[in-house]
Homo-oligomer: A and B are copies of this chain.
């Protein structure tokens, strides 16, 4: 709320400066604003003013602002520039941000931009565009410096002086052997405090934690978080150093993956997580419908199955209409307790708390929790049913069904994701809608079987 107000204030001030063509003041004002904020302001400005504002920015800052833009505004701004301006700005941009932007542009625009780059950069960018977006290769940058292990510290520092300003991070420098294989890591601090004649390999740390270029970004995030790394080197299957991933990209991955998990859990495709950026109404609705409908159709047929099962107990329903009254309560409570167990198991599997070897323990634990809450709830409901209906038998049946159903639900909710994981299926498929529909079916079966046996006998 407060942030929003500060932002609006800045926006108004900048618009006023553009309108009154106070170029010097505008320039001065902008150097005090964070590039990300300038990018946000740029997006909000009307057509003609965007270009005016951008032209005022110094080169370095302009490139940083481009890094932060969404692909629409990016290509809009770019198309208003001369070839020379474009080329210069693209050279200054951060490579991994550029790859992300290019990935979202049309084939044609992408080629146009790549053609403007230096041959080396163009090759790098083309290579990076090949990797899947959610792998180490897809989020790494090749814009880093590495040192040969057989050079002296003096030469290493000289080399860094010349080459580092472009690179994303130089707090840690990775060391390679003559074949380009990752051999170690050295911190800027170690370089500075060591004797200039020492060889890099003598002071480097050989225990460097790295990831493979094809590793899933979730795995990469796990390693980086575990060891609190500022950056992690990426190697190919031959152990050659191919790129690095920095902590800021990892923070984005953690957030992205969490959102995806939450969305999957609610029974919608993870693609919907990206839709919030989509501002147009109809494409947004259409994509959401596409993302959610598959889950709903599956659960719809689950519901039809419930209906089929229920139709078998028509006699019971006709003899005791009161049995139907408690049906939503029974299925609802089963769904709730099952959702709790399945969510904890899915998240536990994702975070590595639930391990394959310990799955029996987890199942037994969740079953016990289900039994405790099931028995407490069944006593409450038994009392309610008895006093309301004045029928002790009905109260007992509802209570017993509730307890059995809740224990079953907790067990199924835990087993399904574990089994999915074992067979290589994403455990998150055991989402809330899926689990509660499955539990509706077991719940109804349990309830009506017990009712028919106990009430009609």
Q: Which residues of A line the B interface, CB within 8 A?
A: 1, 4, 32-34, 36, 170-171, 188-189, 206-207, 209, 224-228, 230, 247-248, 250-252, 254-255, 258-259, 261-263, 265-268, 272, 276, 281, 284-285, 288-289, 292-293, 295-297, 299-300, 302-304, 306-308, 310-311, 314, 317-318, 321-322, 324-333, 335-337, 339-340, 342-344, 347-348, 351, 353-356, 361, 365, 368-369, 372-373, 376-377, 380-381, 384, 432-433, 436-437, 440, 444
Q: In the complex the two chains form, what is the Cα distance from A272 to B347 in whole Å?
A: 12
Given contacts A262-B265, A303-B381, 12 further A-B contacts (CB under 8 A): A34-B209, A225-B255, A259-B351, A263-B343, A281-B365, A292-B369, A299-B336, A300-B329, A300-B381, A310-B328, A318-B318, A335-B335
The residue on B at minimum CB distance from A276 is B353
The residue on B at minimum CB distance from A376 is B293
Determine if B377 and A440 form an interchain contact, defined as CB atoms under 8 angstroms apart. Answer: no
Which residues of chain B are within 8 angstroms of A372 by Cβ–Cβ distance? 285, 289
Determine if A324 and B297 form an interchain contact, defined as CB atoms under 8 angstroms apart. Answer: no
Q: In the complex the two chains form, what is the Cα distance from A265 to B340 in whole Å?
A: 9
Number of this chain's copies in the assembly equals 2
> A280 to nearest B CB, angstroms?
11
Determine if A325 and B311 form an interchain contact, defined as CB atoms under 8 angstroms apart. Answer: yes
Neighbour of A373 across the interface among B248, B293, B318, B381, CB < 8 A: B293
Which residues of chain B are within 8 angstroms of A311 by Cβ–Cβ distance? 322, 325
Neighbour of A328 across the interface among B261, B325, B331, B333, CB < 8 A: B331
Determine if A324 and B343 form an interchain contact, defined as CB atoms under 8 angstroms apart. Answer: no
> A221 to nearest B CB, angstroms?
8
Determine if A328 and B373 form an interchain contact, defined as CB atoms under 8 angstroms apart. Answer: no
Neighbour of A368 across the interface among B268, B285, B327, B355, CB < 8 A: B285
Determine if A333 and B296 form an interchain contact, defined as CB atoms under 8 angstroms apart. Answer: yes
> A47 to nearest B CB, angstroms?
22
> A34 to nearest B CB, angstroms?
6
Determine if B259 and A304 form an interchain contact, defined as CB atoms under 8 angstroms apart. Answer: no
Q: In the complex the two chains form, what is the Cα distance from A324 to B251 in whole Å?
A: 50
The residue on B at minimum CB distance from A377 is B300
Q: In the complex the two chains form, what is the Cα distance from A380 to B300 in whole Å?
A: 9
Determine if A266 and B328 form an interchain contact, defined as CB atoms under 8 angstroms apart. Answer: no
Determine if A339 and B267 form an interchain contact, defined as CB atoms under 8 angstroms apart. Answer: yes
A sample of 22 inter-chain contacts (CB < 8 A) reads: A33-B207, A36-B226, A224-B251, A254-B254, A262-B265, A262-B343, A266-B340, A276-B353, A292-B340, A296-B333, A303-B326, A303-B330, A307-B329, A314-B321, A317-B317, A318-B321, A324-B324, A328-B440, A332-B436, A339-B433, A432-B432, A436-B436
Determine if A332 and B373 form an interchain contact, defined as CB atoms under 8 angstroms apart. Answer: no
Q: In the complex the two chains form, what is the Cα distance from A76 to B328 in whole Å?
A: 52
Neighbour of A259 across the interface among B255, B331, B347, CB < 8 A: B347
Determine if A228 and B251 form an interchain contact, defined as CB atoms under 8 angstroms apart. Answer: yes
> A351 to nearest B CB, angstroms?
7
Neighbour of A348 across the interface among B276, B289, B354, CB < 8 A: B276
Determine if B365 and A227 form an interchain contact, defined as CB atoms under 8 angstroms apart. Answer: no
Q: In the complex the two chains form, what is the Cα distance from A230 to B292 in whole Å?
A: 38
Which residues of chain B are within 8 angstroms of A259 by Cβ–Cβ distance? 258, 347, 351
Q: In the complex the two chains form, what is the Cα distance from A8 to B21 in whole Å?
A: 68
Which residues of chain B are within 8 angstroms of A224 by Cβ–Cβ distance? 251
Neighbour of A296 across the interface among B255, B336, B433, CB < 8 A: B336
Neighbour of A317 across the interface among B4, B297, B321, CB < 8 A: B321
Which residues of chain B are within 8 angstroms of A258 by Cβ–Cβ distance? 254-255, 258-259, 261-262
> A337 to nearest B CB, angstroms?
7
Determine if B299 and A332 form an interchain contact, defined as CB atoms under 8 angstroms apart. Answer: yes
Q: In the complex the two chains form, what is the Cα distance from A299 to B267 in whole Å?
A: 21
Determine if B206 and A32 form an interchain contact, defined as CB atoms under 8 angstroms apart. Answer: yes
Determine if B292 and A307 form an interchain contact, defined as CB atoms under 8 angstroms apart. Answer: no
Determine if B262 and A347 form an interchain contact, defined as CB atoms under 8 angstroms apart. Answer: yes
Which residues of chain B are within 8 angstroms of A36 by Cβ–Cβ distance? 226-227
